[in-house]
Amino acid sequence: MTTAFITGITGQDGYYLANHLLAAGYEVHGLVRGQRNPKRRDVERDLPDVKLHDGDITDEASIRRLLARVAPDEVYNLAAVSYVQYSFENPVLTAETTGVAVLRLLEVLRDHPTVRFYQASTSEMFGLAASSPQNESTPFHPRSPYAVSKVFAHHAVVNYREAYGLFAVSGILFNHESPRRGAEFVTRKVTQGVAAIKAGRKDMIELGNLDARRDWGFAGDYVRAMHLMLQQPSPSDFVVGTGTTHSVRDLVSVAFRVAGLDWQQHVKSTADNLRPADVPDLRADASRAKQKLGWTSETSFEDLIAAMVEADIRRSETAAG
């Protein structure tokens, strides 16, 4: 039985990846930061076959002990400070958790040379991209402390792969969402807001730049690409995305339409919600992933947003009932 170790197991991607690996017959272990982590109970309830371990990705000694005990065949690093706005407010913490911690992981993996390692990179690294769409050769131009930290981690993976022969890869994933997306992200801010307005508990959603465009896909599709990257004969990095962009305005329009509401009566853009340095347009060229991995996105933008809105409306009704 193949054994996988997942950091960030309590997040959206951690859930979908663990579920995918369990279905593939893996033994799955997950890292949980803090014994009082409220999301721990969610994992224990929804993924009872996952073995959870307390630890901290920023603590090299604890990671070293855990990897020696678990002896995984594959390690997936999904842990990070991943909310862009938060990274502007807490840049040093973001750098430690999202960047330097990856270097510590790679140092530990030098003592486990047969382990295959996946690093969650991000399209935010492209930032103010010089060309569109973006592929594996597009230069990085990060526009937030989060993106800068991810660039550091990404290059660390390349360096350790080339210097020490580790099977270490990065998936440059474009925005991927689901009903399990964190409430701080714009997609859930919109879908939760729609549910609250539908229930009569709220009247207005305040957002930032409605013209910003992103390549949005379904997280459940994207974790398949993560797994496929570690099954290749040799390690390399891949861009993963749908190749289609939508604006925040499109997101809002679809979400409100699902609920039978007029978004123009309930949405406004405010200066307080604008980023200090914005990223106007990101679109993936995932042709290499399609060719080499046989991967394609299977869920449309409209179906994704509809599923998220419907899930949040159900949650709202359950909470009220």
Please list the active-site residues.
122, 124, 146
C-alpha 258/C-alpha 245 separation (Å) is 20
Pick from 40, 34, 35, 36: which is nearest to 10 by CA? 40
* 34 phi-psi bin (left φ>0, alpha ψ -120 to 50, beta other): left
C-alpha 86/C-alpha 66 separation (Å) is 29
3-state secondary structure of 258: helix
3-state secondary structure of 313: helix
Residue 136 in contact with residue 123, Cβ under 8 Å?
no
Structure tokens at 96: 């430690």
- Beta-carbon contacts of 131 under 8 Å, excluding residues fewer than 6 positions away, are 138
